[in-house]
Protein backbone atom coordinates (compact mmCIF):
# COMPACT_ATOMS: atom_id res chain seq x y z
CA UNK A 1 0.00 0.00 0.00
CA UNK A 2 1.46 3.31 -1.08
CA UNK A 3 0.66 6.49 0.80
CA UNK A 4 0.64 9.82 -1.03
CA UNK A 5 0.45 13.20 0.67
CA UNK A 6 -1.56 15.73 -1.30
CA UNK A 7 -1.53 19.43 -0.48
CA UNK A 8 -5.01 20.72 -1.38
CA UNK A 9 -5.21 24.44 -2.14
CA UNK A 10 -8.90 25.07 -2.79
CA UNK A 11 -8.46 28.83 -3.17
CA UNK A 12 -11.06 31.40 -4.12
CA UNK A 13 -14.35 31.62 -6.00
CA UNK A 14 -15.43 28.25 -7.40
CA UNK A 15 -12.20 26.65 -6.11
CA UNK A 16 -13.74 25.09 -2.97
CA UNK A 17 -16.79 23.87 -4.90
CA UNK A 18 -14.80 22.00 -7.54
CA UNK A 19 -12.19 20.81 -5.01
CA UNK A 20 -14.99 19.07 -3.10
CA UNK A 21 -15.72 17.03 -6.24
CA UNK A 22 -12.05 16.17 -6.71
CA UNK A 23 -12.01 14.81 -3.17
CA UNK A 24 -15.05 12.62 -3.80
CA UNK A 25 -13.19 11.08 -6.72
CA UNK A 26 -9.97 10.61 -4.74
CA UNK A 27 -11.91 8.81 -1.99
CA UNK A 28 -13.19 6.32 -4.56
CA UNK A 29 -9.78 5.90 -6.20
CA UNK A 30 -8.46 4.94 -2.76
CA UNK A 31 -11.08 2.21 -2.46
CA UNK A 32 -10.26 0.81 -5.89
CA UNK A 33 -6.46 0.86 -5.71
CA UNK A 34 -3.74 -0.09 -3.24
CA UNK A 35 -3.13 3.55 -2.33
CA UNK A 36 -3.88 5.85 0.52
CA UNK A 37 -4.19 9.61 0.11
CA UNK A 38 -3.46 11.91 3.00
CA UNK A 39 -5.03 15.19 1.96
CA UNK A 40 -4.10 18.35 3.80
CA UNK A 41 -6.28 21.42 3.21
CA UNK A 42 -4.23 24.60 3.08
CA UNK A 43 -5.01 28.25 2.86
CA UNK A 44 -3.98 29.87 -0.44
CA UNK A 45 -5.03 32.85 -2.54
CA UNK A 46 -7.33 35.73 -1.64
CA UNK A 47 -8.87 33.76 1.17
CA UNK A 48 -5.42 33.31 2.74
CA UNK A 49 -4.65 37.00 2.35
CA UNK A 50 -7.79 38.01 4.21
CA UNK A 51 -7.06 35.43 6.95
CA UNK A 52 -3.34 36.03 7.42
CA UNK A 53 -2.22 39.02 5.34
CA UNK A 54 -0.30 36.66 3.05
CA UNK A 55 -1.80 34.94 -0.02
CA UNK A 56 0.82 32.14 0.24
CA UNK A 57 1.32 31.71 3.99
CA UNK A 58 4.47 30.11 5.37
CA UNK A 59 2.53 27.11 6.73
CA UNK A 60 1.14 26.43 3.25
CA UNK A 61 4.62 26.66 1.74
CA UNK A 62 6.06 24.17 4.23
CA UNK A 63 3.20 21.72 3.72
CA UNK A 64 3.57 21.98 -0.08
CA UNK A 65 7.32 21.34 0.29
CA UNK A 66 6.56 18.06 2.06
CA UNK A 67 3.67 16.92 -0.15
CA UNK A 68 4.03 14.35 -2.93
CA UNK A 69 1.82 16.48 -5.16
CA UNK A 70 -0.15 19.69 -4.95
CA UNK A 71 -3.74 19.91 -6.10
CA UNK A 72 -4.88 23.46 -6.60
CA UNK A 73 -8.36 24.83 -7.19
CA UNK A 74 -8.58 28.40 -8.43
CA UNK A 75 -7.45 31.72 -7.05
CA UNK A 76 -8.31 35.32 -7.81
CA UNK A 77 -10.89 37.90 -6.93
CA UNK A 78 -13.28 39.93 -8.99
CA UNK A 79 -11.96 43.18 -10.44
CA UNK A 80 -13.54 45.19 -7.61
CA UNK A 81 -12.53 42.83 -4.79
CA UNK A 82 -8.94 42.77 -6.05
CA UNK A 83 -8.64 46.48 -5.37
CA UNK A 84 -8.90 45.77 -1.64
CA UNK A 85 -5.45 44.13 -1.74
CA UNK A 86 -2.12 45.80 -2.57
CA UNK A 87 -1.05 44.79 -6.08
CA UNK A 88 1.96 42.73 -4.98
CA UNK A 89 -0.08 40.78 -2.46
CA UNK A 90 -2.98 39.94 -4.76
CA UNK A 91 -3.51 36.20 -5.19
CA UNK A 92 -1.92 36.06 -8.65
CA UNK A 93 1.33 37.86 -7.76
CA UNK A 94 1.25 36.93 -4.09
CA UNK A 95 0.43 33.22 -4.35
CA UNK A 96 0.19 31.64 -7.79
CA UNK A 97 3.35 32.99 -9.39
CA UNK A 98 5.37 32.34 -6.21
CA UNK A 99 4.03 28.75 -6.20
CA UNK A 100 5.21 28.28 -9.79
CA UNK A 101 8.58 29.87 -9.01
CA UNK A 102 9.11 27.91 -5.80
CA UNK A 103 8.85 24.55 -7.57
CA UNK A 104 10.05 25.73 -10.99
CA UNK A 105 7.05 24.09 -12.61
CA UNK A 106 8.23 25.07 -16.06
CA UNK A 107 6.21 22.60 -18.11
CA UNK A 108 2.50 23.28 -18.16
CA UNK A 109 0.43 20.67 -19.99
CA UNK A 110 -2.96 22.01 -21.05
CA UNK A 111 -4.94 19.42 -23.00
CA UNK A 112 -7.60 20.78 -25.33
CA UNK A 113 -9.67 17.70 -25.86
CA UNK A 114 -13.16 17.03 -27.14
CA UNK A 115 -14.03 13.63 -28.57
CA UNK A 116 -16.27 13.49 -31.61
CA UNK A 117 -19.28 12.32 -29.57
CA UNK A 118 -19.12 15.56 -27.57
CA UNK A 119 -18.51 17.84 -30.56
CA UNK A 120 -21.90 19.48 -29.99
CA UNK A 121 -20.40 21.30 -26.99
CA UNK A 122 -18.10 23.26 -29.30
CA UNK A 123 -19.19 26.53 -30.90
CA UNK A 124 -17.35 25.38 -34.04
CA UNK A 125 -19.29 23.76 -36.89
CA UNK A 126 -19.16 19.94 -37.11
CA UNK A 127 -17.31 20.07 -40.44
CA UNK A 128 -14.56 22.11 -38.78
CA UNK A 129 -14.31 19.74 -35.84
CA UNK A 130 -14.20 16.59 -37.96
CA UNK A 131 -12.97 13.72 -35.77
CA UNK A 132 -12.88 15.83 -32.63
CA UNK A 133 -10.29 18.09 -31.03
CA UNK A 134 -7.20 16.60 -29.43
CA UNK A 135 -4.40 19.10 -28.84
CA UNK A 136 -1.76 19.26 -26.13
CA UNK A 137 -0.71 22.83 -25.47
CA UNK A 138 2.64 22.93 -23.72
CA UNK A 139 3.16 26.29 -22.08
CA UNK A 140 6.43 27.45 -20.55
CA UNK A 141 5.35 28.50 -17.06
CA UNK A 142 8.17 30.13 -15.12
CA UNK A 143 9.77 32.58 -17.53
CA UNK A 144 9.01 35.35 -19.97
CA UNK A 145 7.35 38.62 -19.14
CA UNK A 146 5.66 37.05 -16.10
CA UNK A 147 8.96 36.76 -14.27
CA UNK A 148 11.11 39.44 -15.93
CA UNK A 149 12.38 42.61 -14.27
CA UNK A 150 9.69 45.19 -13.74
CA UNK A 151 9.81 48.81 -12.88
CA UNK A 152 7.11 51.40 -12.40
CA UNK A 153 7.74 55.06 -11.86
CA UNK A 154 7.50 58.60 -13.09
CA UNK A 155 9.82 59.65 -15.90
CA UNK A 156 11.68 62.91 -16.46
CA UNK A 157 8.63 64.39 -18.17
CA UNK A 158 6.56 63.64 -15.08
CA UNK A 159 4.68 60.85 -16.84
CA UNK A 160 3.92 57.52 -15.17
CA UNK A 161 5.71 54.70 -17.00
CA UNK A 162 6.35 50.97 -16.77
CA UNK A 163 9.30 48.96 -17.96
CA UNK A 164 8.51 45.24 -18.06
CA UNK A 165 10.97 42.72 -19.46
CA UNK A 166 10.41 39.51 -21.38
CA UNK A 167 13.36 37.41 -20.28
CA UNK A 168 14.47 33.91 -21.24
CA UNK A 169 17.84 32.23 -21.20
CA UNK A 170 18.72 29.37 -23.51
CA UNK A 171 18.48 26.72 -20.79
CA UNK A 172 14.92 27.73 -19.97
CA UNK A 173 14.02 27.53 -23.65
CA UNK A 174 15.81 24.24 -24.22
CA UNK A 175 14.13 22.41 -21.36
CA UNK A 176 10.61 23.32 -22.45
CA UNK A 177 11.33 22.58 -26.11
CA UNK A 178 12.59 19.15 -25.09
CA UNK A 179 9.32 18.53 -23.29
CA UNK A 180 7.55 19.60 -26.50
CA UNK A 181 9.59 17.21 -28.64
CA UNK A 182 9.25 14.31 -26.18
CA UNK A 183 5.49 14.80 -26.03
CA UNK A 184 5.24 14.99 -29.82
CA UNK A 185 7.32 11.81 -30.06
CA UNK A 186 4.87 10.02 -27.77
CA UNK A 187 1.89 11.19 -29.85
CA UNK A 188 1.67 11.94 -33.58
CA UNK A 189 5.27 13.12 -34.03
CA UNK A 190 4.27 16.60 -35.17
CA UNK A 191 5.28 19.62 -33.12
CA UNK A 192 3.85 23.07 -33.77
CA UNK A 193 6.32 25.69 -32.61
CA UNK A 194 4.37 28.85 -31.83
CA UNK A 195 6.39 32.06 -31.83
CA UNK A 196 6.57 35.71 -32.88
CA UNK A 197 10.06 35.87 -34.38
CA UNK A 198 8.97 38.56 -36.85
CA UNK A 199 8.96 40.99 -33.93
CA UNK A 200 10.28 39.54 -30.69
CA UNK A 201 13.97 38.86 -30.22
CA UNK A 202 12.99 36.34 -27.55
CA UNK A 203 11.33 34.29 -30.30
CA UNK A 204 14.46 34.56 -32.46
CA UNK A 205 16.50 33.01 -29.64
CA UNK A 206 13.71 30.48 -29.00
CA UNK A 207 13.85 29.35 -32.65
CA UNK A 208 17.67 29.22 -32.65
CA UNK A 209 17.56 26.89 -29.67
CA UNK A 210 14.89 24.84 -31.40
CA UNK A 211 17.22 24.33 -34.39
CA UNK A 212 19.86 23.01 -31.97
CA UNK A 213 17.48 20.62 -30.21
CA UNK A 214 15.66 19.34 -33.31
CA UNK A 215 18.45 17.01 -34.56
CA UNK A 216 17.91 14.86 -31.44
CA UNK A 217 14.33 14.34 -32.58
CA UNK A 218 14.57 13.60 -36.30
CA UNK A 219 11.42 11.49 -36.07
CA UNK A 220 9.42 14.61 -35.11
CA UNK A 221 8.27 17.04 -37.80
CA UNK A 222 8.42 20.67 -36.69
CA UNK A 223 5.92 23.15 -38.06
CA UNK A 224 6.45 26.82 -37.33
CA UNK A 225 3.54 29.17 -36.86
CA UNK A 226 3.33 32.78 -35.74
CA UNK A 227 1.21 33.16 -32.64
CA UNK A 228 -1.34 35.53 -34.16
CA UNK A 229 -1.89 33.19 -37.07
CA UNK A 230 -2.15 30.25 -34.64
CA UNK A 231 -5.03 32.01 -32.88
CA UNK A 232 -7.01 31.99 -36.11
CA UNK A 233 -5.94 28.49 -37.07
CA UNK A 234 -7.23 27.15 -33.73
CA UNK A 235 -10.69 28.32 -34.75
CA UNK A 236 -10.64 27.47 -38.44
CA UNK A 237 -8.70 24.22 -38.49
CA UNK A 238 -7.94 22.85 -35.03
CA UNK A 239 -7.47 19.37 -36.48
CA UNK A 240 -4.06 20.35 -37.88
CA UNK A 241 -2.61 20.61 -34.36
CA UNK A 242 -1.43 17.83 -32.12
CA UNK A 243 1.29 19.21 -29.81
CA UNK A 244 1.89 22.96 -29.60
CA UNK A 245 4.77 24.47 -27.63
CA UNK A 246 5.09 28.13 -26.71
CA UNK A 247 6.32 30.69 -24.21
CA UNK A 248 4.44 31.71 -21.11
CA UNK A 249 2.18 34.57 -22.20
CA UNK A 250 1.33 33.04 -25.58
CA UNK A 251 0.37 29.85 -23.74
CA UNK A 252 -1.82 31.71 -21.29
CA UNK A 253 -3.84 33.27 -24.08
CA UNK A 254 -4.01 30.41 -26.57
CA UNK A 255 -4.94 27.87 -23.88
CA UNK A 256 -7.96 29.95 -22.88
CA UNK A 257 -8.83 30.06 -26.55
CA UNK A 258 -8.57 26.29 -26.40
CA UNK A 259 -11.31 26.35 -23.78
CA UNK A 260 -13.29 28.55 -26.14
CA UNK A 261 -13.20 26.12 -29.02
CA UNK A 262 -14.24 23.27 -26.70
CA UNK A 263 -17.21 25.25 -25.48
CA UNK A 264 -16.19 26.04 -21.89
CA UNK A 265 -13.15 26.74 -19.77
CA UNK A 266 -14.66 24.14 -17.47
CA UNK A 267 -13.23 21.53 -19.86
CA UNK A 268 -9.63 22.66 -19.28
CA UNK A 269 -7.56 20.73 -16.70
CA UNK A 270 -3.79 21.09 -16.46
CA UNK A 271 -0.56 19.74 -15.03
CA UNK A 272 2.38 21.93 -14.03
CA UNK A 273 5.57 19.90 -13.89
CA UNK A 274 8.83 20.88 -12.25
CA UNK A 275 12.08 18.99 -11.77
CA UNK A 276 11.09 17.74 -8.29
CA UNK A 277 7.49 18.70 -7.76
CA UNK A 278 4.30 18.96 -9.73
CA UNK A 279 1.07 20.72 -9.11
CA UNK A 280 -2.26 20.27 -10.83
CA UNK A 281 -4.92 22.91 -11.46
CA UNK A 282 -7.71 23.84 -13.80
CA UNK A 283 -6.49 26.23 -16.50
CA UNK A 284 -9.26 28.66 -15.74
CA UNK A 285 -9.81 31.14 -12.95
CA UNK A 286 -12.03 31.47 -9.92
CA UNK A 287 -15.09 32.43 -12.01
CA UNK A 288 -16.42 35.04 -9.56
CA UNK A 289 -19.52 35.42 -11.75
CA UNK A 290 -20.77 31.93 -10.85
CA UNK A 291 -19.06 31.29 -7.49
CA UNK A 292 -21.19 29.94 -4.66
CA UNK A 293 -23.99 28.80 -6.96
CA UNK A 294 -23.03 25.13 -7.25
CA UNK A 295 -23.09 25.36 -11.05
CA UNK A 296 -19.37 25.36 -11.96
CA UNK A 297 -18.20 22.54 -14.16
CA UNK A 298 -15.86 20.34 -12.11
CA UNK A 299 -14.50 18.50 -15.18
CA UNK A 300 -11.37 20.70 -15.23
CA UNK A 301 -10.66 19.88 -11.58
CA UNK A 302 -11.42 16.17 -11.86
CA UNK A 303 -9.39 16.05 -15.09
CA UNK A 304 -6.52 17.61 -13.14
CA UNK A 305 -6.89 14.74 -10.65
CA UNK A 306 -6.64 12.29 -13.56
CA UNK A 307 -3.43 14.00 -14.66
CA UNK A 308 -2.08 13.78 -11.09
CA UNK A 309 -2.91 10.08 -10.85
CA UNK A 310 -1.02 9.44 -14.06
CA UNK A 311 1.89 11.85 -13.86
CA UNK A 312 2.68 11.92 -10.13
CA UNK A 313 1.39 8.57 -8.83
CA UNK A 314 1.85 6.25 -11.83
CA UNK A 315 -1.81 5.15 -11.70
CA UNK A 316 -2.10 5.18 -15.48
CA UNK A 317 -4.94 2.72 -15.84
CA UNK A 318 -7.06 4.40 -13.17
CA UNK A 319 -6.41 7.76 -14.83
CA UNK A 320 -7.78 6.33 -18.08
CA UNK A 321 -10.80 5.02 -16.20
CA UNK A 322 -11.40 8.45 -14.75
CA UNK A 323 -11.28 10.11 -18.18
CA UNK A 324 -13.71 7.49 -19.42
CA UNK A 325 -16.00 8.13 -16.44
CA UNK A 326 -16.05 11.86 -17.21
CA UNK A 327 -16.95 11.10 -20.81
CA UNK A 328 -19.69 8.69 -19.75
CA UNK A 329 -21.44 11.39 -17.72
CA UNK A 330 -21.55 13.74 -20.70
CA UNK A 331 -22.46 10.95 -23.10
CA UNK A 332 -25.45 10.15 -20.86
CA UNK A 333 -26.72 13.67 -21.54
CA UNK A 334 -25.77 15.28 -18.22
CA UNK A 335 -23.87 18.53 -18.03
CA UNK A 336 -23.38 21.61 -15.91
CA UNK A 337 -25.10 24.77 -17.27
CA UNK A 338 -21.97 26.15 -19.01
CA UNK A 339 -22.27 23.46 -21.67
CA UNK A 340 -25.98 22.75 -21.66
CA UNK A 341 -27.78 22.91 -24.98
CA UNK A 342 -31.37 21.95 -25.76
CA UNK A 343 -31.97 18.36 -24.74
CA UNK A 344 -29.14 18.20 -22.21
CA UNK A 345 -29.98 17.47 -18.59
CA UNK A 346 -28.53 20.33 -16.53
CA UNK A 347 -27.07 19.28 -13.21
CA UNK A 348 -25.17 20.96 -10.39
CA UNK A 349 -21.46 20.81 -9.64
CA UNK A 350 -22.12 18.33 -6.82
CA UNK A 351 -24.43 16.16 -8.91
CA UNK A 352 -21.86 16.05 -11.73
CA UNK A 353 -19.22 14.86 -9.26
CA UNK A 354 -21.60 12.20 -7.95
CA UNK A 355 -22.23 10.97 -11.50
CA UNK A 356 -18.50 10.73 -12.17
CA UNK A 357 -18.10 8.71 -8.97
CA UNK A 358 -20.98 6.45 -10.01
CA UNK A 359 -19.50 5.91 -13.48
CA UNK A 360 -16.03 5.19 -12.12
CA UNK A 361 -17.36 2.76 -9.53
CA UNK A 362 -18.91 0.67 -12.32
CA UNK A 363 -15.61 0.24 -14.14
CA UNK A 364 -13.39 -2.77 -13.57
CA UNK A 365 -10.72 -2.03 -10.97
CA UNK A 366 -7.17 -1.72 -12.30
CA UNK A 367 -5.16 -4.96 -11.99
P1 LIG B 1 -12.25 32.80 -15.34
O2 LIG B 1 -11.50 31.72 -15.99
O3 LIG B 1 -12.39 32.73 -13.87
O4 LIG B 1 -13.72 32.89 -15.96
C5 LIG B 1 -13.97 33.18 -17.34
C6 LIG B 1 -15.39 32.71 -17.71
O7 LIG B 1 -15.38 31.28 -17.75
C8 LIG B 1 -16.44 33.10 -16.68
O9 LIG B 1 -17.64 33.41 -17.33
C10 LIG B 1 -16.61 31.86 -15.84
O11 LIG B 1 -17.86 31.70 -15.24
C12 LIG B 1 -16.34 30.75 -16.85
N13 LIG B 1 -15.78 29.55 -16.20
C14 LIG B 1 -14.50 29.37 -15.79
N15 LIG B 1 -14.36 28.17 -15.23
C16 LIG B 1 -15.57 27.57 -15.29
C17 LIG B 1 -16.06 26.30 -14.85
N18 LIG B 1 -15.27 25.40 -14.25
N19 LIG B 1 -17.35 26.02 -15.07
C20 LIG B 1 -18.16 26.89 -15.69
N21 LIG B 1 -17.75 28.10 -16.12
C22 LIG B 1 -16.46 28.43 -15.92
O23 LIG B 1 -11.55 34.15 -15.80
P24 LIG B 1 -11.71 35.64 -15.23
O25 LIG B 1 -13.13 35.90 -14.88
O26 LIG B 1 -11.03 36.47 -16.21
O27 LIG B 1 -10.84 35.65 -13.91
C28 LIG B 1 -11.37 35.54 -12.60
C29 LIG B 1 -10.24 35.48 -11.60
O30 LIG B 1 -9.53 34.26 -11.74
C31 LIG B 1 -9.20 36.58 -11.78
O32 LIG B 1 -8.89 37.06 -10.50
C33 LIG B 1 -8.01 35.87 -12.40
O34 LIG B 1 -6.79 36.46 -12.09
C35 LIG B 1 -8.13 34.51 -11.78
N36 LIG B 1 -7.49 33.42 -12.53
C37 LIG B 1 -6.90 32.42 -11.78
C38 LIG B 1 -6.38 31.30 -12.43
C39 LIG B 1 -5.74 30.20 -11.63
O40 LIG B 1 -6.05 30.03 -10.45
N41 LIG B 1 -4.88 29.40 -12.22
C42 LIG B 1 -6.46 31.20 -13.81
C43 LIG B 1 -7.09 32.21 -14.53
C44 LIG B 1 -7.61 33.32 -13.87
C1 LIG C 1 -3.53 30.90 -15.78
C2 LIG C 1 -3.90 32.24 -15.16
C3 LIG C 1 -2.67 32.86 -14.51
C4 LIG C 1 -1.66 33.14 -15.62
C5 LIG C 1 -2.95 34.13 -13.71
C6 LIG C 1 -4.04 33.95 -12.71
C7 LIG C 1 -1.69 34.61 -13.03
O8 LIG C 1 -4.48 33.07 -16.10
O9 LIG C 1 -3.07 30.01 -15.05
O10 LIG C 1 -3.72 30.74 -16.99
O11 LIG C 1 -1.73 34.17 -16.28
O12 LIG C 1 -0.78 32.29 -15.80
MN1 LIG D 1 -4.88 32.14 -17.99
17 lines ligand 2 (CB under 6 A): no
For position 274, what pLDDT does the model report?
Answer: 98
Could you tell me the distance, in angstroms and rounded to a whole number, from the CA of residue 253 to the centre of ligand 2?
A: 9
Q: Is 256 a catalytic residue?
A: yes
From the candidates 23, 24, 196, 277, give the one annotated as an active-site residue.
196
Residue 107 pLDDT: 99
Domain spans of the chain?
1-105+274-367, 112-267
Closest ligand by atom to 300 CA: 1
- 76 in contact with ligand 1, CB cutoff 6 A: yes
- The C-alpha angle 117, 337, 350, rounded to 5 degrees, equals 100
Q: How far is CA 243 from CA 64, 222, 224, in A?
A: 30, 10, 12
Q: Kindly give the confidence (pLDDT) of every residue in the chain, 367 residues in length, as a single tens digit, with 9 standing for 90 and above.
A: 999 999 999 999 999 999 999 999 999 999 999 999 999 999 999 999 999 999 999 999 999 999 999 999 999 999 999 999 999 999 999 999 999 999 999 999 999 999 999 999 999 999 999 999 999 999 999 999 999 999 999 999 999 999 999 999 999 999 999 999 999 999 999 999 999 999 999 999 999 999 999 999 999 999 999 999 999 999 999 999 999 999 999 999 999 999 999 999 999 999 999 999 999 999 999 999 999 999 999 999 999 999 999 999 999 999 999 999 999 999 999 999 999 998 899 999 999 999 999 999 999 999 8
Closest CA to ligand 1's atom 22: 266
Fold equal for 1-105+274-367 and 112-267: yes
322 Cβ inside 6 Å of ligand 2: no
Is any ligand 2 atom within 6 A of the Cβ of residue 335?
A: no
Domain 1-105+274-367 CATH class label: alpha beta
Alpha helices in the chain, H assignment, sequence order: 15-32, 46-52, 58-66, 79-82, 91, 97-102, 126-129, 170-186, 201-213, 227-236, 248-262, 299-311, 316-331, 349-361
Question: Which atom of ligand 2 is closest in space to residue 100's alpha carbon?
Answer: 12
* Terminal CA-CA length for the chain: 14
Active site residue 196: yes
pLDDT of residue 342: 87
What value, to the nearest 5°, has the Cα angle with vertex 89 and ends 284 and 150? 90
CATH 3.40.718.10 corresponds to the domain 112-267: yes
User: Is any ligand 2 atom within 6 A of the Cβ of residue 93?
Assistant: no
Ligand nearest to the CA of 260: 1
Compute the half-sphere exposure of residue 226: CA atoms within 13 Å on the CB side of its CA.
7
The question of whether 279 is a catalytic residue gets the answer no
Q: Which atom of ligand 1 is nearest to the CA of 74?
A: 40
State the DSSP string of 125-151: -HHHHTTEEEEEEEEE-S-BTTTS-EE
Amino acid sequence: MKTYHIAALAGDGIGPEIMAEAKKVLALVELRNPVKFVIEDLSFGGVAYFETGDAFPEATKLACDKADAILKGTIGLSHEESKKIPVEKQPERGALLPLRARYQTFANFRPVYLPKELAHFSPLRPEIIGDGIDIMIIRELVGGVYFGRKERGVNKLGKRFVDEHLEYDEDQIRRILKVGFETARSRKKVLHNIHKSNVLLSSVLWNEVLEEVAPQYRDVTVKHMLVDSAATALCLNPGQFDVMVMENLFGDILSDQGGGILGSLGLMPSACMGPDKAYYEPSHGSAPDIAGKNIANPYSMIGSVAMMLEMSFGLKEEAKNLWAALKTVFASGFTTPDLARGGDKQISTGAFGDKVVEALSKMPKPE
